[in-house]
Chains A and B, each alone.
Chain A
Amino acid sequence: MCISPRLGARSQKGQQPLIEWSIMRPRAFKITSLLAAAAIALTACSPAAPQAETKTLKVVYQKTDSFSALDSLFQSAKQEFEAAHQGVTVALEPVQANDDDYGTKLALALRSPSTAPDVFYEDTFKVRSDVDAGYLLKLDSHLEGWKDWEKFEEGAKAAGLGDDGGTYAVPLGTDTRAIWYNKKVLTAAGVSVPWEPRTWQDILDTARKIKASNPAVVPFNMYAGKATGEGTVMQSFYELLYGTGAELYDADAQRWVLGSQGFTDSLAFLKTLYDEKLAVSPAEALDANVWKKVFGEWLPQGKMAATVEGSYTPSFWQKGGSYEWPEYGQDMGVTAFPTQNGQAPGGVSMSGGWTLAVGAGTNDPQLAFDFLATALNQKNSLAFDIASSQIAVRKDVAADAAYQGANPFVKDVSKLVAVTHYRPATADYPRISAAVQEATEAVITGAKSPAQAAAEYDTAVKGIVGDAKTVVK
C-alpha cells in the first residue's frame, strides 16, 4: 500500500479545515472538500518521480516449476547488462502462471502505462493483435543498427511482423509438433520400429494392435477439450485438420473457413480414438494437468505408447528437466504426423514460439532495445534453446555443435519446419480456438456427433466474426 510520510502530514493539516467547512457550509462545500481530500490521497499514492541517475528496466516473463530456462536467460542477461550499463537496474518480474493466465496477466499489465513492462515475453500468435492494441513498440529503426539481426532466419523474422509490415518482436526460438512414441512399448506389441505411419488409418491400425496386445497401455493419445487450451489445437486438432487439406483461415481472403469436410473428418478421428479407448479417458483428457502425466508418468513408465507433442519434449526429460529420464534418448522415437490419406507433403506439423518485445510506452526505447539485444545474443540464445529444447532461429546457434548435440532429436524435429503451419494470428483467434476446443470436447464426451459439433462450430464462428468474414469451402 501507499503509505508515505507525505500522506500523513497532509491529512493532518487538511483535517481541521475539512471539519470547519462542512459545518459552515452545506452540501456543495462538503463535496468539494471530499474531492480535495481524495485528490490529496491519490496524489500521495502516485509513484515517486524517477530519479535522474538510476534507470530501471522492468522485464516481465513467464516462469513455472517446469519452465525455468527463461528465468536463467534473463538472470544472465541482467548481469551482463548491468555490468555494461552503469546506473541501470534491470527489475525482473517473473509471472508464475500457465500460458493462458500469463497472457491475461500480461495484457492487463500492458493496459496501463504505469504497470506496462519495458521488455516482455510475448507469444507469437498474440503479436499482431497486441500491435493492433498499441502495446508493442515498432523496432525497425533499432533493428537497422543491430548487426545480429541478419543472423536470424528470414522465416522466423516473420513471427514479429505487425499488419503494417513493421517488425515489433524478436523471436526467441520456434517449435514443431510430431508423434513421440515409446519404442519398448511398440516393440512389445509387435510393431516394428522405427515406426512411420503414412496415413490416419496406419495410426488406428497400430493403436488397435497395441490395445489388443496390452489393454492396460494407452496406445495413442491426442489432446482434446478446453482444459488443455492451446495444447488441444496445436498438438492435436490442427495436425489432423491441416492433414486433410482443409484449413482454419484463408489468409489471402482474410476469411475463416466453415463447413469443410476436413473439419468433420478430424473430429471423427478424435471420436474414434476416444470411443475405442485408444486415447486416455475423456475424464483424464479434461484435466488441465493431463500433459504432466503424459511427460512425467505414462511415457517414461511405458503406460502410453505414443502421443503428439512439441519439439520441446526433451526439455522435460533431459538433465535438469522437471521429469528427468536418462534413457529417453534410446527409449523414445519421433516421427512426423501423417496426412489423412498419405497425400503430399506426407507430414504435418504446427509451429508457435515466443518472442521478446518492447513496451510501446517505455521511457527509454534505446535502453530497452539494448537489453532485448543482450538477452538474445548468441550466448544467451544458445543456452536458452538448449535448456528448453527450442528450434534455433539464429543461424549461428543452429550451426553450433552444442546445440546440435543437445538431444538426439534436434535433427528430426528441425526437419519438420518444411511441413509446418502457423496459427492465424488475428485478434479473433483466441475465441475461434476456444470454439474448436469446445467442438473437440463435445465429440469426445459423446455430447454431439462430429457433424453436429462441426455445425455448431460454424455457428459459433459466424457469431464471433460475422458472416462477412467467413467462407464455406
Chain B
Amino acid sequence: MATTTSRRRPTVSRPLLRRRARLLPVLPAVLLLLVFLAGPVLWAFHASFTNAALTGRNARSPGWVGLENYQRLFTDPVLPLSLALTVVFVAGSAIVGQNLLGLAIAILMRRARRPVAAVVGTAVVAAWVLPEIVAAFAAYAYFSRDGTLNQVLGSVGLGQPDWLYSFPMVAIMLANIWRGTAFSMLVYRAAIDDVPGEVTEAALMDGASGWQRLAYVTLPMIRGSIATNLMLITLQTLAVFTLIWVMTAGGPANASTTLPVLAYQEAFKFGDIGYGTAVASVLILIGLVFGAAYVRLLREPKQ
C-alpha cells in the first residue's frame, strides 16, 4: 500500500497523509451535514431567486426571476415590522430573559437547600423536556382569555386582559422564556461548578463582596460558556416557530409576525415558495451575523 502511494504521489509526505487519514472518522458527520444542512440551505437560497410556487403555472415550471423577490421583500411594509419583532423577541426572550434568568437560577441554586434546588431544577427542566408543540399548547391554554393566568388574576381581583390579543409579544416572549430557561440554567450550573473553589475563596479572603466575586471572578471565568450559551439560545430563538404559530399565528394584525412566521405564511399559506425562501434567506443571514459575532467574542484573548 505504502509503495503504491509513494510511487504515484512522491510529493505527499507521510505525516500529511496520516493527518488526512485522521479526518476519516468525521466524514460521515460531514456527509450528513452536507446532505441535510447545507443542501436545504443552498436549495432555499437558490429558490429565492425563482418564482417557484406550490400551485399554479409556476409550480410546474419555476423560472429564474433574479432579485425580484428581494426587491419585493425590501419594499414590503411587513418586513420592517417583522424584523423589529424578531429582534425584540430574540433580545427580550433569549439574550435578556432566558440568559439572565438561567444565570440567576444557577447561582441561587448553589446556595439553596438541596430539596429546594431539586424542586426548582425539576420545575424549570420540565418545560424544556416538553415537546415544543405540547409546550406551545400549554402556553396557549395559560395565556388565553379564559386561561389559567386570567383565572388567577380574576381570583385576586385584578384585570383580565386578553393576553394573546392585547399583548401578543409579551405572551410569546414569556412563553419562550419559560420554555428555554432550563437550557441556560444547565449550561451555567455546569460552568459555575467548574470555577475552582480556591479562586473564590481567595477573593473572599481579599474582602470581595458577593456581587464583586460574581462580577470579577465568576463571570470572567465562565466567559466562554456565556458566549456559547448566548450563541445557541440566540439561534434557537431566531428559529422559534411552533410556539408563536400555536399561540397567535402571527396576529393580531401581524403584531407577532416574526421572520419564521412570515416565511411560513408566504411559502405555505400563499404558496409562494420563492418569496418565502427569500424571507428565510434573510433569516439565515441574520443568524450568520449573530453567529459570527459570538464566535469573535469566544476567540478574543483572555485577559
Alpha-carbon distance between A133 and B56 when the two chains are bound, in angstroms: 4
Interface string of A426-449 (1 = CB under 8 A from B): 011011001000100110010100
Least Cβ distance of A115 to chain B in Å? 14
B70 within 8 A of A: no
A135 within 8 A of B: yes
Q: Which of A103-111, A350-358, A365-373 contacts B (4 or more CB under 8 A)?
A: A103-111
Interface string of A92-113 (1 = CB under 8 A from B): 0000000010001001100100
B55 to A38, Cβ gap below 8 A? no
**CB < 8 Å: which of A24, A34, A132 contacts B1?**
A24
A22 to B56, Cβ gap below 8 A? no
Q: Which of B54, B57, B58 has the most CB of A within 10 A?
A: B54
B253 to A447, Cβ gap below 8 A? yes
Alpha-carbon distance between A23 and B18 when the two chains are bound, in angstroms: 8
A434 to B270, Cβ gap below 8 A? yes
Least Cβ distance of A454 to chain B in Å? 16
A434 — which chain B residues lie within 8 A by C-beta?
Answer: 269-270
B55 to A126, Cβ gap below 8 A? yes
A24 to B57, Cβ gap below 8 A? no
Alpha-carbon distance between A135 and B60 when the two chains are bound, in angstroms: 8
A327 within 8 A of B: no
Alpha-carbon distance between A104 and B162 when the two chains are bound, in angstroms: 30
Instruction: Tell me whether A133 and B269 are in contact in the complex, defined as CB-CB below 8 angstroms, given that A23-B17, A288-B249, A427-B53 are known contacts.
Output: no
Interface string of A131-145 (1 = CB under 8 A from B): 011110000000000
A427 to B8, Cβ gap below 8 A? no
B145 — which chain A residues lie within 8 A by C-beta?
Answer: 283-284, 287
Of chain B, the residue at the smallest CB distance from A130 is B55
Instruction: Tell me whether A133 and B60 are in contact in the complex, defined as CB-CB below 8 angstroms, given that A22-B24, A108-B54, A441-B253 are known contacts.
Output: yes
Alpha-carbon distance between A438 and B4 when the two chains are bound, in angstroms: 71
A431 to B272, Cβ gap below 8 A? yes
A22 to B21, Cβ gap below 8 A? yes
A133 — which chain B residues lie within 8 A by C-beta?
Answer: 53-60
Interface string of A389-428 (1 = CB under 8 A from B): 0000000000000000000000000000000000000011
A129 to B56, Cβ gap below 8 A? yes
A37 within 8 A of B: yes
A19 within 8 A of B: yes
**Interface residue tally of chain B, by bracket?**
35 or more
B27 within 8 A of A: yes
Alpha-carbon distance between A227 and B247 when the two chains are bound, in angstroms: 12
A/B pair count, beta carbons within 8 Å:
104
B66 within 8 A of A: no
Alpha-carbon distance between A130 and B27 when the two chains are bound, in angstroms: 42
B55 to A226, Cβ gap below 8 A? no
B5 to A286, Cβ gap below 8 A? no
Least Cβ distance of A107 to chain B in Å? 4
Q: Which chain A residues (7-62) contact chain B, with CB distance < 8 Å? A: 19-20, 22-26, 34, 37-38
A24 to B5, Cβ gap below 8 A? yes
A117 — which chain B residues lie within 8 A by C-beta?
Answer: none
**CB < 8 Å: which of B9, B144, B251, B271 contacts A25?**
B9
Of chain B, the residue at the smallest CB distance from A427 is B56
B24 — which chain A residues lie within 8 A by C-beta?
Answer: 19, 22
B64 within 8 A of A: no
B122 within 8 A of A: no
Alpha-carbon distance between A225 and B164 when the two chains are bound, in angstroms: 15
Alpha-carbon distance between A23 and B145 when the two chains are bound, in angstroms: 66
B272 — which chain A residues lie within 8 A by C-beta?
Answer: 431
Of chain A, the residue at the smallest CB distance from B272 is A431
A282 within 8 A of B: yes
A430 to B269, Cβ gap below 8 A? yes
A126 — which chain B residues lie within 8 A by C-beta?
Answer: 55
Least Cβ distance of A233 to chain B in Å? 14
B21 — which chain A residues lie within 8 A by C-beta?
Answer: 19, 22-23
A427 — which chain B residues lie within 8 A by C-beta?
Answer: 53, 55-58, 271
B55 to A132, Cβ gap below 8 A? yes
Alpha-carbon distance between A20 and B21 when the two chains are bound, in angstroms: 10
A20 to B1, Cβ gap below 8 A? yes
A129 — which chain B residues lie within 8 A by C-beta?
Answer: 55-56
Least Cβ distance of A216 to chain B in Å? 16
Of chain A, the residue at the smallest CB distance from B4 is A24
Alpha-carbon distance between A284 and B146 when the two chains are bound, in angstroms: 11
Q: Which of B59, B72, B166 has the most CB of A within 10 A?
A: B59
Instruction: Tell me whether A134 and B20 are in contact in the complex, defined as CB-CB below 8 angstroms, given that A24-B8, A100-B269 are known contacts.
Output: no
B137 within 8 A of A: no
Instruction: Tell me whether A25 and B8 are in contact in the complex, defined as CB-CB below 8 angstroms, given that A34-B31, A38-B31, A283-B166 are known contacts.
Output: yes
B268 within 8 A of A: yes
B20 to A26, Cβ gap below 8 A? yes
**CB < 8 Å: which of B12, B56, B251 contacts A132?**
B56
Instruction: Tell me whether A286 and B252 are in contact in the complex, defined as CB-CB below 8 angstroms, given that A25-B9, A104-B54, A431-B272 are known contacts.
Output: yes
23 A-B residue pairs with Cβ-Cβ distance under 8 Å, sorted by A, are: A19-B24, A25-B9, A38-B31, A100-B269, A104-B271, A111-B54, A126-B55, A130-B55, A132-B56, A133-B54, A133-B59, A135-B59, A226-B249, A283-B166, A287-B144, A287-B164, A427-B56, A427-B271, A428-B56, A430-B271, A431-B270, A441-B253, A447-B253
Given contacts A26-B12, A442-B253, 10 further A-B contacts (CB under 8 A): A23-B5, A26-B20, A38-B35, A126-B55, A132-B56, A133-B55, A134-B60, A428-B56, A431-B272, A441-B252
